[in-house]
Amino acid sequence: MTRPKLYVAGNWKMNGLQADLKEIESVKAGVQPSGPDVAIFPPATLLHQAASLVKGSPVEIGAQDCHAQPKGAFTGDLSAPILKDAGASAVIVGHSERRSGHGETSRDVHAKASAGLKAGLKVIVCIGETKGERVAGLAPEVCARQVAASLPEDSTPDTVIVAYEPVWAIGTGLSPTIPDITAIHEVVRREIHKRFPASEGKHWRVLYGGSVTAANAASIFESAEVDGVLVGGASLNAASFLAIIAAAKAASGSRTA
């Protein structure tokens, strides 16, 4: 088994009106099948149209969260089967804005990830330490614990992607050094291998996220431990997102299996 293709994901968060679908059209027009895998996670209201727009292209469309139950009396929530039905082929779970803003624990994230897998969605599980935990030297331990507790038993390298997103780097313009990113990705892979000994850590995709821009993407891809990026702010504009996709494509050439 060779190293997986790089994966460039854009998390639109609570941004995106009908008029912004043109950004997705531009991304679709600018990507090449020979490039990295590309995914856009718009708000749920745009999922159906976005999925129709990218049909037949290498771009996949995903949702930003899902409920752990497949259906029921949960006003305002969206289940994995509902998201799949709307056109999503992937879902992000455990984003720090959900963990901190909505009190989600790794146990909740595990349940949501299971629901995503059960519905046939690819699942991106986010983990990452806070500033306080980094300063206290606890980042490796916190990230290992989150990986151990958040990934469902039926995770496979084809269906689950881990995104390392230090909380303090999200939306702040701050990012860890490349050696710091590499070190945590190694911890993540070791933990995954411990949980799933039948597969090697390097067969799983581990993304970096947190203030990734067109300006710093190339240097982040210099770490052979980085299998892709999860991009927030810089994914809202097609030109900057395409520049990050181009940086991934340039980096893939120099990667070995």
Write the DSSP string, 100-141.
Answer: HHS---HHHHHHHHHHHHHTT-EEEEEE---HHHHHTT-HHH
Q: What residue is closest to ligand PGA based on CB?
A: 232
- Compose the 158-197 pattern: x for residues touching ligand PGA by CB under 6 A, - for all others: -------x----xx--------------------------
Restricted to residues 216-255, the positions that interact with ligand PGA (CB under 6 A) are 230-234
Q: Which of 23, 60, 95, 97 is an active site residue?
A: 95
**End-to-end distance of the chain based on CA atoms, in angstroms?**
8
Q: What is the 3-state secondary structure (H, E, C) of 16-57?
A: CCHHHHHHHHHHHHHCCCCCCEEEEECCHHHHHHHHHHHCCC
110 is catalytic: no
Q: Which of 23, 165, 191, 225 is an active site residue?
A: 165
Asked if residue 50 lies in contact with residue 24, where contact means CB atoms within 8 angstroms, the answer is: yes
Q: What is the length of the chain?
A: 257
Closest approach of Cβ 211 to ligand PGA, in Å? 4
Residue 16 contacts ligand PGA per CB under 6 A: no
CA 194 to CA 214: how far, in whole Å? 35
Q: Which is nearer to ligand PGA, 112 or 203 (CB)?
A: 112
- Compose the 41-80 pattern: x for residues touching ligand PGA by CB under 6 A, - for all others: ----------------------------------------
Residue 210 contacts ligand PGA per CB under 6 A: yes
Q: Which is nearer to ligand PGA, 81 or 166 (CB)?
A: 166
Q: Which is nearer to ligand PGA, 46 or 167 (CB)?
A: 167
Write phi, then psi, for 26 (nearest 5 degrees): -70, -40
Amino acid identity for residue 207 in this structure:
L
Q: Which is nearer to ligand PGA, 99 or 189 (CB)?
A: 99
Residue 120 contacts ligand PGA per CB under 6 A: no
CA 52 to CA 64: how far, in whole Å? 18
Which positions are annotated as active-site residues? Answer: 95, 165
Residue numbers at the binding site for ligand PGA (CB under 6 A) = 11, 165, 170-171, 209-212, 230-234
